[in-house]
Amino acid sequence: MRSRSTTLWILFLLGACGRSGLRVAGTGGSSGGDGTGEGSAGIGGGTSMAGVANPGGIAETGGVTDTGGVTGNGGCINTQTDNNNCGTCGNVCSALSPSRAQCTAGRCLVTLATGMGGPQGIAVDATSVYWTNYYDGTVMKVPSDGGTPTTLASGQTHPSSIAVDAISVYWTTDQYVLKVSLDGSSFTLLGSGEQVVGIAVDATSVYWASGGGGAVNRVPLGGGITTTLATQPQTFGGIAKDTRNIYWTDPADGTVMRVPLNGGTPTTLASGQFLPEGIAVDATSIYWSTCDDVMKIPLGGGTPTTLVGGPITLVYNQCGSHGIAVDGTSVYWTNSSSTVIKVPLGGGTPTTLANGQSGSEGIAVDGTSVYWTNFSNGNVMKLTPK
């Protein structure tokens, strides 16, 4: 039997070892750090305390909490909601005023603009975010880091689709296709039509669809003669382009179509789709949303692949999906259930990036973030990382 003095001496030594970084693995937690907050949560939700794993989920000084944050002198407590430690310790979630930032589920959610009148289409470049306000009749921009929005054009009749290149912003209204320089100083009318929808640009031309006239059109970047690339007697949901073709969806007859950039006979890539709307394209495939699914098909045609949908409801209520975007890993879209969602390019389990939005419409992505418009509450949003 140990004497009281021996027991106290042993406890003193154990405490000294703990302070000097003794590493002891425990149930449910990974090995700890040096007692300054570098322990990490382990499988099963365990946490570490002063570098010692603890299955109880209780964080002490220098340990890791169940909420994903590290406690200790650095103040990193909750990486899910702390703007100073968003996602990881030391990662600051911020925006330039009057934009607002809030760390949400470990991602930085920024309200870039509020009080807009029906924000709809959205586009981004390396420095700014651009959008149309359907009810306000304006075309706007704001720095991608936040700040005060700038009006590039006003007095427009229901501006909707929008695109941007290195020198100009392009958009459609009910009857016109227009552009303005990035600083708002130079304004040009490019083309006209009935029920103009969708817009895409490349190094030489602007492309759009005219629902009233049933045509896909092209005009030079500087304006001039409009060329009709294809006639389409039904309706248009959206358009997209690559280096060879223009692609569009037709909600009325449930098809996805293609025509060469120089015009020709349209090709039906997919049929029997239920109200196809938004469309996007990358180097290998075409992607679109329907009322049931998010789909893709090879550029050359073939059998469409269902990315999201089917008998198991992974993502419900896709009706009303207005925007879709794609990058090197994922497809992103907005839907009428007020959510922003992504799924891997090859399909799989969708990830809800944001919920509780209000009439989400247009969507765009860059290398780090996803951006969208909330038509109903007038907000323009950004989420990092995407």
Is 91 contained in some domain?
no
Is 88 contained in some domain?
no
> Phi-psi region for residue 272, left (φ > 0), alpha (ψ -120 to 50) or beta?
left
Is 92 contained in some domain?
no
Task: Provide the terminal-to-terminal Cα distance of the chain, rounded to the nearest Å.
Answer: 61
Is 93 contained in some domain?
no
Order of strands across the sheet that contains 267-270: 239-241, 245-250, 255-260, 267-270
Answer yes or no: do 231 and 269 share one domain: yes
Please, are residues 184 and 150 in contact by the beta-carbon 8 Å criterion?
A: yes
Q: Residues 70-97: pLDDT tens digits?
A: 444 457 989 999 999 999 999 999 999 9
Give the burial class of 334: count Cβ atoms within 10 A of its Cβ; 0-12 exposed, 13-18 middle, 19 or more buried: buried
CATH number of the domain to which 122 belongs: 2.120.10.30
Residue 206 CA to residue 200 CA, distance in Å, equals: 6
Is 86 contained in some domain?
no
Q: Residues 250-292: pLDDT tens digits?
A: 998 899 999 999 999 999 998 888 888 899 999 999 999 888 7
Is 2 contained in some domain?
yes
Answer yes or no: do 282 and 379 share one domain: yes
* Contacting residues for 231 by C-beta, under 8 A, at least 6 apart: 214, 215, 216
Give me the number of domains the chain comprises: 2
Q: Residues 52-75: pLDDT tens digits?
A: 333 333 333 333 333 444 444 457
Answer yes or no: do 51 and 116 share one domain: no
Answer yes or no: do 293 and 189 share one domain: yes
DSSP state of 29: B
Answer yes or no: do 230 and 114 share one domain: yes
Answer yes or no: do 52 and 120 share one domain: no
Amino acid at 182: L
Answer yes or no: do 196 and 280 share one domain: yes
Taking all residues of the chain, what is their mean pLDDT, rounded to a whole number? 80
- Cα separations in angstroms, 25 against 211, 305, 326: 66, 46, 43
Q: Which domain holds residue 59?
A: 1-78
Is 129 contained in some domain?
yes
Q: Residues 284-317: pLDDT tens digits?
A: 999 998 887 888 888 887 777 777 654 223 344 5
Is 328 contained in some domain?
yes
* Domain edge (last residue) among 78, 110, 141: 78
Phi, psi at 20, each rounded to 5°: -90, 5
pLDDT at 304: 77
b (16+ CB within 10 A) / e for 254-284 = bbbbbbebeeeebeebbeebebbbbbbbbee
Identify the weakest region by mean pLDDT among 16-25, 70-79, 140-149, 256-265: 16-25
Answer yes or no: do 135 and 18 share one domain: no
